[in-house]
Amino acid sequence: MPEGQSRNDTIEDRLVEDRTFPPPESFRAASLVSSPALYDEANQDWQGFWARQAADLLHWDQDWQTILEWDEPFAKWFVGGKLNVCHNAVDRHVLAGRGDKVAYHWEGEPGDTRTITYADLLADVQRFANVLKGLGVSKGDRVCLYMPMIPELPVAMLACARIGAPHSIVFGGFSPDSLIDRINDAACRVVITADGGYRRGQPLALKPNVDVAVGATPSVEHVVVVKRVNEPVTMVAGRDHWWSDLMAAADAECPCESMDSEDLLFLLYTSGTTAKPKGIMHTTGGYLTQVAFTHKYVFDLHPDTDVYWCAADIGWITGHSYIVYGPLTNGATSVIYEGTPDTPAQDRLWDIAERYGVTILYTAPTAIRTFMKWGAEHPASHDLSKLRLLGSVGEPINPEAWMWYHEHIGGGRCPIVDTWWQTETGAIMISPLPGATITKPGSATFPLPGIEIEVVNEEGQRVERGGGYLTITRPWPSMLRGIYGDPERYQDTYWSSYAGKYFAGDGCKLDDEGYLWLLGRVDDVMNVSGHRLSTAEVESALVDHPAVAEAAVVGAKDDLTGQAVMAFVITRGTHSASPELGAELRGHVATKLGAIARPKVVIFTDELPKTRSGKIMRRLLRDVAEGRDLGDTTTLADPNVVEEIKRRAAESPTED
Ligand code: PRX
């Protein structure tokens, strides 16, 4: 155990990482924020700070009377204000003479491309808004979108926003059952889909899933289908319509509905692994304010020169906020890519980044670790010299993955913004400001201006140093407004652990300089001989070894120690699995974190079970480690992976 460490009832802090990266001088000099002034301004008057952002970044049809009404846990921001999200994202740029500016460079997986200007977007959105009206959709009606990453998806979202109909996007990888639950919970009247989309070089059908689903969703009156892959589909007369037919017949002009700041903009369901999915509610004025603010300052956006690429899926909150609403509100030029990163080859992303001259890239640690596994020769074969800033989101980023991203993608010159947030927070909460913050590999650094975070212990008392639980102590503009139809569950899930604080469900530690290090979900904490260890730290220690590409760690029941550390490891490059390597890795973890964290078993595998958004499903690994039958695997991206891991686990000797 490292010196000075003692047992405590929160999460132990073991990983020591002391490399620091100040913003490069050339970056700092040209950045939007190069000093702590913005933090000072927000500290003096946080509500006034958000009000200034709302006024600076957005067009309001009518001013608000009250910045914030807070009746814990229910917030209302910019009360009395009126605005339209689509007007802010599209119309006002065209009205200001920027209609020819490219909003999206879109690239399909087979290599087809489309360039969409703000004027193009406005034309399509108006027509599609009229299509929706023609199908009987009016303000307040919910619309379900179940689509691939094609330009019609942002068009449909913006058309919904234009007429005040909240959208509920269901990620295209979800099954008919998931679709049924989500459509019924929101009682959607219309579903917008496609015949299919491309994935790994193959058309992946979507419409047949909708056909199954709508048999069990009485609220659905119409289905609109985009033709993308030209696969045969069944169209039910009167119910199903081709997108192109409806668009051709629609009027070209549709005014924006002036919406109340607190009107619902969208629902997005988070797939709980056990319980029924929660319909997270996001509203209009506060959401757009914080999304626009964070997109501008965290990514240091210079809209006239930057080409920005968030390589997430629009079906997740990252895509809602940082492919659609944030970038468009700020008048950015973005890249959207439909498919997978290894089609046709493992350099696809770098080929795209080079061709479009991408300057800002935002992706996830799971993707970065996959790129590490594939090898640095793929990015090295492309000119990535236009890149100037990199971002990470979705999971704790291991220091080694951070360093690899920095060196092999960022050429050693690009700051990295590790951004912590959630579907529920709507927008980034913890992140460096790239021109002002000295970063440390693996730390999301500090709360953004206007945001207040507290790390607390089991009793809810503030922790000044070391591990604990991440809480948010005051309302923020893009916070969820609740769970659709279930205010009690909202209160219970997020506001009942610690009085007066939002509990995010994540472990977090504070270092001596007040940097925040996210430790993953608290459900993922292990208890070994009374020590609460974070899986994220053991995983980082494993990935620190040159032979390891990716690692997932779980605590499995153990008669002697309560739980034992079990490690699932994917080797990197030419390194291959062997009992000797297993022993070496166990020793490596013990050296880095102390003997208590030494894995009892190292199981080598080729893949890890992940959700469709790329998060490791530790629950399933725990089932494997404890020899149980597998629980619910419906949210797993590839169910075959677990069978293979079970086989490997059965072959791995316990190394005590
Ligand atoms: O555990 C945290 C992790 O992802 C969770 C939120 O997941 P989701 O709602 O799907 O949203 C993902 C995109 C915002 C968080 O509770 N997480 C997200 N970003 C980070 C992170 N963990 C560590 N570091 C991050 N930067």
Mind listing the pLDDT tens digit for each residue in 457-488? 988 999 999 999 999 999 999 999 999 999 99
C-alpha 479 to ligand 1 mean position (Å): 15
Residue nearest to ligand 1 atom 12, measured at CA: 394
In a domain, 626, yes or no: yes
Predicted confidence at residue 594, as pLDDT, reads 83
Mutation to probe ligand 1, out of 291, 420, 479, 615 (largest number of atoms < 8 A from CB): 420
Which secondary structure element, helix H or strand E, spans residue 6, and what is its range? Answer: none
Which residue's C-alpha comes closest to atom 18 of ligand 1? 394
165, 140 Cβ separation under 8 angstroms: yes
Best of 11, 366, 421, 428 to mutate for ligand 1, by most ligand atoms within 8 A of CB?
421
Average pLDDT of 598-614?
88
Minimal-distance CA residue to ligand 1 atom 7: 422
CA of 118 to the centre of ligand 1 (A): 31
CA angle at 174 for the pair 200 and 325, rounded to the nearest 5°: 85
The β-bridge partners of 202 are 199
Which atom belonging to ligand 1 lies closest to the Cα atom of 419?
A: 26
For residue 143, what pLDDT is reported? 98
The span from the CA of 125 to the CA of 85, in Å, is: 12
Nearest alpha carbon, ligand 1 atom 24:
396
pLDDT tens column, 513-529 = 999 999 888 877 888 88
Sequence-distant (≥ 6) Cβ neighbours of residue 120 within 8 angstroms: 103
Q: Which residues line ligand 1 at a C-beta cut-off of 6 Å?
A: 270, 317-318, 393-396, 418-423, 444, 504-506, 518, 520-521, 613
Among 265, 291, 313, the domain boundary falls at: 265
**pLDDT at res. 528:** 87
The answer to whether the bond into 415 is cis (omega within 30° of 0) is no
90 in a structural domain = yes
Can you tell me the distance from the alpha carbon of 299 to that of 108, in angstroms, rounded to the nearest whole number? 25
CA distance 440 to 512: 13
55 is a domain residue: no
Centre of ligand 1 from the C-alpha of residue 635, in Å: 17
Mean pLDDT for 43-69 is 98
pLDDT over 70 for what percent of the chain? 96
Give this prediction's pTM.
Answer: 0.89
pLDDT tens profile 254-272: 999 999 999 999 999 986 5
Percent of the chain with pLDDT over 90: 79
Query: Is 582 contained in some domain?
Result: yes
Atom of ligand 1 nearest to the CA of 430: 26
Ligand 1 midpoint to CA 644 (Å): 27
The answer as to whether 159 is a domain residue is yes
Q: Does position 656 have pLDDT exceeding 70, yes or no?
A: no
> Ligand 1 centroid to 621 CA: how many Å?
20
Nearest CA owner, ligand 1 atom 25? 420
Give the torsion through C-alpha atoms of 333, 339, 340, 341, to 10 deg: -30
CA dihedral (372, 373, 374, 377) in degrees, to 10, reads: 40
Confidence of residue 625 (pLDDT cuts 50, 70, 90): confident
pLDDT confidence of residue 293: 98
Distance from the CA of 618 to the center of ligand 1, in angstroms?
15
Query: Hey, which of 270, 393, 443, 446 would you mutate to test ligand 1's pocket, going by the most ligand atoms within 8 Å of its Cβ?
Result: 393
- The span from the CA of 73 to the CA of 429, in Å, is 18
pLDDT of residue 2: 38
Domain that holds residue 558: 525-651
Average pLDDT over residues 576-600: 91
Q: Quick check: is 359 in a domain?
A: no
420 Cα–ligand 1 center, Å:
6
Residue with tokens 């994202």: 89
Q: 10 and 469 in contact (C-beta within 8 Å)?
A: yes
Domain C-terminal end among 265, 298, 330: 265
The per-residue pLDDT of the chain, averaged, comes to 93
Please tell me the residue having the least CA distance from ligand 1 atom 6.
Answer: 422
User: Are β-strands 202-205 and 196-199 bridged in parallel, bridged antiparallel, or unpaired?
Assistant: antiparallel
Residue range 102-126: mean pLDDT, rounded: 98
pLDDT of residue 536: 87
CA-based nearest residue to 17, from 425, 445, 323, 529: 445
Q: If you ran DSSP here, which 8-state letter would residue 208 be given?
A: H
Let me know if residue 232 belongs to a domain. yes
Neighbours of 33 (CB within 10 A): 19
Q: What is the C-alpha to C-alpha distance for residues 582 and 567, in angstroms, rounded to an integer?
A: 10
> What's residue 107's pLDDT?
98
CATH of the domain at 556: 3.30.300.30
Best substitution site from 318, 368, 506, 611 to test ligand 1's pocket, by max atoms within 8 Å of Cβ? 506
What confidence score (pLDDT) does residue 221 get?
Answer: 98
List, for residues 382-441, the tens digit of each pLDDT value.
999 999 999 999 989 999 999 999 999 999 999 999 999 999 999 999 999 999 999 999
Name the residue at shortest CA distance from atom 4 of ligand 1.
394
Token pair for 69: 């009404």
Helices (H), 320-423: 326-329, 348-356, 365-374, 377-380, 399-404
Nearest CA to ligand 1 atom 11: 422
pLDDT value of position 6: 39
Q: What is the number of the ligand 1 atom nearest to the C-alpha of 418? A: 26
How many structural domains compose the chain?
2
What are the distances in angstroms from CA 215 to CA 180, 193, 322?
9, 16, 34
CATH number at 222 reads: 3.40.50.980
The residue nearest atom 14 of ligand 1, judged by CA position, is 422
Q: Is residue 157 part of a domain?
A: yes
| Residue closest by Cα to atom 15 of ligand 1 | 422
- Tell me, in angstroms, the distance from the centre of ligand 1 to residue 188's CA: 28
Distance, CA of 619 to CA of 235 (rounded, Å): 40
265, 298, 320 - which closes a domain: 265
CA–centroid distance, residue 394 to ligand 1 (Å): 4
Q: How far apart are CA 501 and CA 430, in angstroms?
A: 16
In degrees and rounded to multiples of 5, residue 646 shows phi and psi of -60, -40
Beta strands at 278-283 and 264-270: parallel, antiparallel or unpaired? antiparallel
Please write down the HEC assignment for all residues of 480-503: CCCECCCHHHHHHHHHCCCCCCEE
* Distance (Å) from CA 416 to ligand 1 centroid: 16
